[in-house]
Structures are given as structure tokens and as C-alpha cells.
Chain A
Amino acid sequence: DIQMTQSPSAMSASVGDRVTITCRASQGISNYLAWFQQKPGKVPKRLIYAASSLQSGVPSRFSGSGSGTEFTLTISGLQPEDFATYYCLQHNFYPYTFGQGTKLEIK
């Protein structure tokens, strides 16, 4: 199985900050990577697909990059509504695997 190592597991930041979350795959997954945001008690929401494509309706402050084994999600100019938990998902090979999640909290 492909392991997705997501870091950090938790972080605190302030409104307006730029933050980066990383996912590393244990083997190459091309660009079959998506990023999700989840707020407590809510359904996960896709932010990025194909590693770097912005989901329709998602603010442009969210961006994704990477290919192969290393991927990043960047939020430029944090807004209060961005404080949530973020997950990556590899869907190149079965079984699909999620990263462990990054909880983004307000500093």
C-alpha cells in the first residue's frame, strides 16, 4: 500500500498568514492527488484535484503543487473560515490512502 505522510499534524497560524502543508507518497503517484478541507461535523470538501487544479468555487488563495512523491497545499492569506483540518488523498493506486490530516488552528 502507498503511505501518505502528511505534515505537520497540527499547526497554529494567524489571519493573513501564508501556510504550507506537505504530503509525501511512499512511491510515485503522478498527479493523482486531491486535497480536502473538513470542519467539525461537516462533510469533507475538495479544494484541489489533480495535484494543482483548483476546484470550482474554491477561493484562489488555495493552491496545490507537486507531482510524483511530494505535494504541497498552500493557503495564501489565511481567513477565519480556513481554520479546519486538511487531508490529502492519493487515488492513483488501490487501496487509495489519505494522509493523517493537518489541524490548522488560530494562533
Chain B
Amino acid sequence: QVQLVQSGAEVKKPGSSVKVSCKASGGTFSSYTISWVRQAPGQGLEWMGGIIPIFGAANYAQKFQGRVTITADESTSTAYMELSSLRSEDTAVYYCARDGGAAAGSGWGQGTLVTVSS
């Protein structure tokens, strides 16, 4: 059973960047995909991008292209999502989730609240 544990809540200024971590335990980290999903207050789920650690290459939603970078460190079984040029509309809970075929969405981190406010 894969468990995903995310870093804590962040408060950021507009224009700055945030980097959220997602540490996996159980299973073989390099063999599965990690996706990042966000949820703004009162809104639905929004897929941002994903990475297969063993390959290192990430895929991103067009909406976030150029602002988001997803990476993975196999040595620590940790995935990261960095979002830059933050604006108030980026205030949301950010989740990492296990991905990959039949495993898609089978496990989620606890969520990280990112608040963007001046």
C-alpha cells in the first residue's frame, strides 16, 4: 500500500514561487507515476501534471505550462511540484496522487494548502 505524505501549508506573496513535496512510502517509487491535482476553494478538481520518476519526464496541463515544474528524486522517493509567478487565483489545496494505468487515483497525499496573499 503506497502512502503519500505532503509538506505543510504555505503562505506566499503574489509573484513568488512555492514548492510542495510529496514523499512516498511502500511500493517501488520509480515504477509509478505521480500526478498533481489542485482544488481552489469551492471548486472542482484540476489536473496539473504528472511525472514517471524512472523516466524523469513530466507532462503538464496547457494551463500551467511555463509556470509549473514537476520533478522527482528517486533517492528519497519524493516528488515535487513548483509553481511560479503566483497569483491570488492559485490559492488552493494541492494534492499529489498515485497514477499509472489501473493505479490512477488509487492513493492521495493529504493535501497542501497554498495561500497567495499580499
Contact = CB atoms under 8 A, between A and B. Distances in A.
Interface of A: 1, 32, 34, 36, 38, 43-44, 46, 49-50, 53, 55, 87, 89, 91, 94-101
Interface size class of B (residues with CB under 8 A): 20 to 34
Interface of B: 35, 37, 44-47, 49-50, 59-62, 95, 97, 99, 102, 104-106, 108-111
Contact of B105 (A34, A53, A95): A34
Given A98-B44, A98-B46, A101-B45, A49 B59 contact: no
B59 A95 contact: yes
A43 B62 CA distance: 25
Q: Is the interface of A mostly helix, strand, loop or mixed?
A: loop
Nearest to A33: B104
A95 B95 contact: no
B104 A34 contact: yes
B34 to A, nearest CB: 12
A36 B61 CA distance: 20
Nearest to B97: A44
